[in-house]
């Protein structure tokens, strides 16, 4: 295993994972528990820890590193932009911001307006505020949802463990079972401002919506004059093999929120408002200092351009199908959920956390969002050989851990 490269001119004492972990524990806020590894470097779908161990990264920073690590297109776009104009505030226009807004609208395929933010939670905050401008305050969300950790986004997130310590949360939010059309029909009336839904629930463990669910949601919300707000923070920007996961259902939402994969690792979020929803927010209604800054928008343009020029939508579908076909065959796997390169691997036993730990030791990064599910969200540039290695290694781990 090759040692991680040090930056040019680096002359310090090599630091170990154990030492940095100890320093982390006394300096970084303990909101994540103590992470199991200290990473130093990445290239493509591979990362190295500070102790020189190598990992195939099947999580990609939680569906963020869409082009993998250190992709030259992002490095070049960010470097050039930073050398030209790094930040201007929203008192000024910059070309990358306008080009990205136009590009996102063209990918969605409808007229609208884009609000830029810096994260998924912030994209959802913008949408939450836009929904209030309908003159209604009720929002319907789904059980198992995850929309972020700020107070507004948390109000839409169903997990009791995340919500309860912070109640009362803003808003008038009703939760309905995910995928249940009758429950949605019963919950939505003419007092509802918006229905917010993930096309595939990511944090819940990659839960697919039943066929026809988004179409039914579109019909029900339209009938009651409510907004359909699709949270594509995890599923958007090529992750599922389409630009957006909702595209396959043929619907046109009112609001689409994006973040994670959009910047390929540079923080950026976006709220796309289509049709009449595009004018819900006006001057003075919302704002941000960093949102839409030239560097972040240049990075996102590079991500989108690379997905187009390298054919990564079709590639994500092919590699995702390869992972699913390989893993579905394992006797300890009851189903592989999701689409493209957002996949849930459902195990016969609630031992996903043990598999995750064993995977780290075997040089593979996977994630266990629930007791019986692994989540895979690798870079869209994952190669065929890497996908084959992933299937072989996960299969061997399942044999060993779930023996
Ligand atoms: C991750 C996620 C968020 C929150 O994004 P942050 O950038 O962590 O604020 C919101 N919605 C969905 C569907 C997500 O997966």
The encoded tokens of residue 221 equal 């919300």
Banded model confidence at residue 12, pLDDT cuts 50, 70, 90: low
Mean pLDDT of the residues in the chain: 96
CA distance 157 to 145: 5
Whether 316 is in the pocket of ligand 1, judged by its Cβ within 6 Å, is no
pLDDT tens by residue, 159-206: 999 999 999 999 899 999 999 999 999 999 999 999 999 999 999 999
DSSP states of 227-250 as a string?
A: EEEEE-TTTTTTTTSSSSGGGGGT
Active-site residue set: 146, 231, 260
Q: How large is the average pLDDT for residues 62-85?
A: 98
Q: Which of 122, 147, 253 to mutate to test the pocket of ligand 1 (most atoms within 8 A of CB)?
A: 147
Q: How large is the average pLDDT for residues 236-242?
A: 98
The encoded tokens of residue 349 equal 């036993």
C-alpha 401 to ligand 1 mean position (Å)? 30
For the ranges 8-17, 133-142, 229-238, the lowest mean pLDDT is seen at 8-17
pLDDT tens by residue, 22-64: 999 999 999 999 999 999 999 999 999 999 999 999 999 999 9
> Following CA atoms 28, 58, 300, 317 in sequence, which dihedral angle do they give, to the nearest 10 degrees?
-160
Global pTM reads: 0.96
In a 3-state reduction of DSSP, which class is residue 388?
helix
The pLDDT assigned to 6 comes to 56
Whether 125 is in the pocket of ligand 1, judged by its Cβ within 6 Å, is no
Statement: residue 223 has pLDDT above 90:
yes
**What domains sit in the chain, N to C, each tagged with a CATH number?**
17-65+311-401 (3.90.1150.10), 72-309 (3.40.640.10)
Sheet of 39-43: strands edge to edge?
Answer: 39-43, 46-49, 54-57, 364-365
The pLDDT assigned to 1 comes to 43
């Amino acid at each position: 295993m090759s040692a991680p490269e040090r930056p040019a001119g680096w002359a310090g004492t090599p630091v170990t994972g154990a030492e940095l972990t100890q320093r982390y524990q006394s300096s970084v806020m303990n909101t994540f528990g103590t992470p199991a590894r200290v990473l130093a470097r990445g290239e493509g779908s591979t990362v190295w820890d500070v102790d020189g161990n190598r990992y195939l990264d099947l999580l990609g920073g939680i569906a963020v590193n869409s082009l993998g690590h250190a992709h030259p297109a992002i490095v070049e776009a960010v470097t050039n932009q930073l050398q030209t104009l790094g930040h201007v505030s929203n008192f000024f226009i910059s070309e990358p911001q306008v080009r990205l807004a136009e590009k996102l609208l063209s990918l969605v395929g409808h007229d609208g307006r884009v609000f830029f933010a810096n994260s998924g939670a912030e994209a959802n905050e913008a949408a939450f505020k836009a929904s209030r401008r309908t003159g209604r305050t009720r929002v319907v969300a789904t059980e198992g949802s995850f929309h972020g950790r700020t107070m507004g986004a948390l109000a839409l997130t169903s997990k009791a463990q995340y919500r309860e310590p912070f109640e009362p949360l803003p808003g008038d939010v009703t939760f309905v079972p995910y995928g249940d059309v009758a429950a949605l029909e019963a919950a939505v009336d003419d007092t509802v401002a918006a229905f917010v839904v993930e096309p595939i629930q990511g944090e819940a463990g990659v839960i697919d919506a039943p066929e026809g669910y988004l179409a039914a949601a579109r019909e029900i919300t339209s009938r009651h004059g409510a907004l359909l707000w699709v949270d594509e923070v995890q599923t958007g920007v090529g992750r599922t093999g389409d630009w957006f996961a909702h595209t396959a259902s043929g619907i046109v939402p009112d609001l689409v929120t994006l973040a994670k994969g959009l910047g390929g690792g540079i923080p950026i979020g976006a709220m796309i408002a289509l049709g009449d929803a595009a004018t819900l927010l006006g001057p003075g209604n919302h704002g941000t200092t960093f949102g839409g800054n030239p560097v972040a928008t240049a990075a996102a343009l590079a991500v989108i351009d690379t997905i187009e020029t390298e054919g990564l939508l079709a590639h994500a579908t092919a590699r995702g199908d390869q992972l699913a076909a390989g893993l579905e065959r394992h006797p300890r796997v009851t189903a592989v959920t999701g689409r493209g390169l957002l996949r849930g691997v459902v195990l016969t036993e609630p031992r996903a956390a043990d598999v995750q730990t064993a995977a780290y030791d075997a040089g593979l990064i996977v994630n266990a969002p629930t007791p019986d599910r692994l989540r895979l969200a690798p870079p869209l540039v994952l190669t065929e050989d890497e996908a084959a290695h992933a299937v072989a290694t996960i299969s061997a781990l399942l044999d060993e851990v779930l023996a």
